[in-house]
Structure 1
Amino acid sequence: MSPGTAHGMASGPDVRMGACDVESAARARAEGSVFRLGPPPVRTELITVHYAQDPAVTTPVLTALARPLHITASENPGLEKTVDFLTAELARPQIGTTAVVNSVVDLLLVQFIRAWLARRPGERSGSWLGAMRDPVVHDALACIHGAPERPWTTESLAAATSVSRATLSRHFRSALGQPPGAYLTRWRMDLASIRLRDTDEPVEAISGAVGYGSPHAFSRAFRRARGMAPGAYRTRLRGHDPARE
């Protein structure tokens, strides 16, 4: 569920829930220690996983999972095994535990996405995850994500996915509420934003890597998408915003 969602936990449907010790919970979360609810003995162990989406990325992947989703072990045996493995790794930390836990959390996210899709077999319109059920959109997205630097057009994407231009446009609008070109630009701007923030690559190199033939064209598109020039964006994210100073 999304951060801040009001919720409660009880050991049974008829059990009255008491107030949580918010300060102790916050302290345990900050320290990464165990937080105990209710009197002993312990009957249930809970693992809390936090997954943050990169703020530079605007493609709405995780936002589709904002609503609470309850998955039982009987529905997804693989999820139970993943949680058991994560529990064992956290119980006995050793060399490489951080890398292992990060990878397992990624696996959990994939399993949540699969469960989300299984729960909503008819949901497509406007949902990025729902769009993955559409084979036409799925194949087009694979092309865009796999080679964002290529000079894609609706015609060339349609040819790559073996459908007509009209069919591709219709499926894209139905699934994502936008044409292929708009999604392509959005994805390229996300990639460019990450590289501007995380690397020292010159703007000219980044513009070519995300499919723009000239730095001028890239800068114009970036300014429309982010409201500032690429250089100013990089400077601001690195904490040297002249305007703010």
Structure 2
Amino acid sequence: MDVLSDAIAAMRTGRPHSGRRDKYAPWGMRIEDSEGAGFHVVLRGSAWLLPSTGEPVALAAGDVVFLAHGRGYALTSGPDVEPTILRFDSDANPPKSPPPPPPVPDAVPDTVLVCGAYWLDRSRAHPLLTELPEVVHLPSRVGAHRSLQATVELLGAELEEPQPGSDIIVSSLLDTLLLYILRAWWQGEARADRHPTGWAAALADPAVTAALQAIHAAPDHPWTVEELGAHGGLSRAAFARRFTTLVGRPPLAYLTWWRMTTAGRLLRADDTPLRTIAERTGYTSEFAFAKAFKRQYGVAPGQYRRQAS
């Protein structure tokens, strides 16, 4: 199993959405706080990103920007332009942004954007995402992030001229885009820093990565610290120290956290029996599972399922 893919799957709710927006200067739009993680791609022209904290970020054609934490921000044609609040349709589930205005006849837009959002359950946010900075900016550079740029081109083409099957294609491309954004960021962090820390270091460490992959592949297995260390070729003590330092939790604490995160996702997804969920997450009985779940979530599994439905 892939730790990055698992982390996203555990947090994602509903379907992502996106749209192409033609902009005519001066323009500006403000996105308020939300449960979503927003992204923007500049297909043509330029733009300014004004985050809730920090300095404005100049965006050029080909740039990709990702905002993981749901804090409000603005996107404008210039740092001094007063933006208009972009109001979401709160009756939709998940909420959707309003459709873009119709194109101006015979006018060439100054800027063309692809804008969208992924909806996340932040109650069990994976540290892979919580460690991200407020703004992930991936500038366009020749030869850099080729898979990401190819996905952007395909997405832009589908949004510009929808064809039969575009609905599923766009949804799949948005999932692919998110993974490429995060992969590009983490790989860039590992390359840029000779001594990376946190999850940038964890994903670059073969021993820790091997243990994480083992946990994610089989959360139902009765893992021991010795077993997990053996996956990375380390002794129990050396492995435990390295894992705890980089991941932020001891190995078995992370195992328990991931089991409960997986259980929450399964409870939200369908009507799988509690006994089956207990087995899939490494508990020998439904009673033991329910006790562990309530300790983590504060409510019994059945009540959690009813609240999430």
Which bin holds the TM-score, normalised by the shorter protein? 0.7 to 0.9
Identity %: 35
CA contact (8 A) 1:223 1:230 kept: yes
* Structure holding more helix per residue: 1
User: Are 1:69 and 2:69 counterparts?
Assistant: no
Counterpart of 1:17 in structure 2 is 80
CA contact (8 A) 2:138 2:185 kept: no
Structure 2 unaligned residues grouped into runs of 5+ = 1-66, 90-95
Shift of 1:66: 4.3
Task: Tell me the distance in 2 between the aligned counterparts of 1:172 and 1:198.
Answer: 31
1:57-77 CA deviation, whole Å, 9 max, x = no partner? Answer: 432232233421222221434
Structure with the larger RCO, 1 or 2 (CA within 8 Å, 6+ apart): 2
Shift of 1:98: 2.1
Shift of 1:36: 7.9
**Length-normalised TM-score, structure 1:** 0.82
Counterpart of 2:167 in structure 1 is 98
**SS of the residue aligned with 2:87?**
helix
**2:292 pairs with one of 188, 199, 221:** 221
Q: Compare CA radii of gyration and give the structure with the larger one.
A: 1
CA contact (8 A) 2:259 2:281 kept: yes
Counterpart of 1:33 in structure 2 is 100
Are the structure 2 counterparts of residues 134 and 36 from structure 1 closer, same or farther at C-alpha, using a change threshold of 3 Å?
A: farther
Are the structure 2 counterparts of residues 147 and 114 from structure 1 closer, same or farther at C-alpha, using a change threshold of 3 Å?
A: same
**1:131 pairs with one of 190, 202, 205:** 202
**Length-normalised TM-score, structure 2:** 0.66
Task: Tell me the distance in 2 between the aligned counterparts of 1:4 and 1:58.
Answer: 15
What is the number of equivalent residue pairs in this alignment?
229
Shift of 1:56: 5.8
Are the structure 2 counterparts of residues 3 and 36 from structure 1 closer, same or farther at C-alpha, using a change threshold of 3 Å?
A: farther
CA contact (8 A) 1:154 1:169 kept: yes
| 104-113 vs 180-189, which moves further | 104-113
Task: Tell me the distance in 1 between the aligned counterparts of 2:125 and 2:137.
Answer: 26
Counterpart of 1:195 in structure 2 is 266
Are the structure 2 counterparts of residues 218 and 229 from structure 1 closer, same or farther at C-alpha, using a change threshold of 3 Å?
A: same
Task: Tell me the distance in 1 between the aligned counterparts of 2:257 and 2:158.
Answer: 38
Structure 1 unaligned residues grouped into runs of 5+ = 239-245
Shift of 1:128: 3.2
**SS of the residue aligned with 1:45?**
strand
